[in-house]
A and B are shown apart, each in its own frame.
Chain A
Amino acid sequence: QMQLEQSGAEVKKPGASVKLSCKASGFVFSDYWMHWVRQAPGQGLEWMGVINPSGSNSVYSQTFQGRVTMTRDTSTSTLYMEVSNLRSDDTAVYYCARDNSLKIVTTSTWWFDPWGQGTLVTVSS
C-alpha cells in the first residue's frame, strides 16, 4: 500500500540545520507533488511548502521562505527537507504528505494522502 516512511527524531542546537527524509513506497513517486507540514507541541498543522514531481520547482510558505529547502531523489523515491538557522520555536513534528488533486466540474480540490508518521525535531541549547 501507499506509504511514506520518515527519518528518526533529531535534537539540534539553535542556529544549526537539520535535513529530514521521507521515503515513498507503493506508488509512482515521480508522478506526485509532495508537501511538508509541521505541528508544534499542542498546536495545529502548519503548511510549509511543496515540491513538484521533477524537483525543479518548490513553493514555500512565506513563514519559511529562505530557511527551508525541499529536494527529492526520484531514483530512491525519497523526499528531503532542510531547515536552516533553527530556533527553539522550530521544535515540532514534521510530516511529509503526498499531494492529490481533482477538478470537479469547474472547482478544484487538493488533499494530503498518505502522510508520513512524522519526525520530531527538538531545538534546544
Chain B
Amino acid sequence: SSELTQDPAVSVALGQTVRITCQGDSLRTYYASWYQQRPGQAPVVVIYGKNKRPSGIPDRFSGSGSGDTTSLTITGTQAEDEADYYCSSRDSSSDRWVFGGGTKLTVL
C-alpha cells in the first residue's frame, strides 16, 4: 500500500519560516491536505488542494508541491503554531485514504 512519509520533528525560531514536507507516490496523482493538531484537540485542516486555505486559517500557511513531494510552509511562525502536522491523500493504488506519520513542530 502507498505511504506518506514525513520528518518526525522540525524546529523553527519564532518569526522565521519553516517548511514541512510529505512524500509519497500518491502525490503524483492527487493533491494532499494538511492538518494541524494541538495537544488534546481534534485535527484541523489548514491546507487542501494545490494551495487552498479554509476560512479562518492565517495566510502565513501555504502549500506547494512537485512530483511525489508536497510541502506545508509557515511564514513568520507564531508560538501558537507549535503542534503536530499531518499530511493526507487518497491512495492511488488502493483508492483508500492515508495519513503521513506526522511532524512535531517546535517553535523556539
Contact = CB atoms under 8 A, between A and B. Distances in A.
A19 B83 CA distance: 30
B48 A46 contact: no
Interface residues of B, number: 31
A16 interface: no
A44 B101 contact: yes
A39 B49 CA distance: 24
Contact of B49 (A45, A47, A95, A109): A109
Interface stretch (A7-15, A72-80, A84-92, A113-121): A113-121
29 contacts: A35-B97, A44-B84, A44-B101, A45-B43, A45-B86, A46-B99, A47-B88, A47-B96, A47-B97, A47-B98, A50-B96, A61-B96, A100-B48, A104-B49, A107-B29, A107-B31, A108-B30, A108-B31, A109-B32, A109-B50, A110-B33, A110-B48, A111-B33, A111-B48, A111-B49, A112-B43, A113-B44, A115-B43, A115-B44
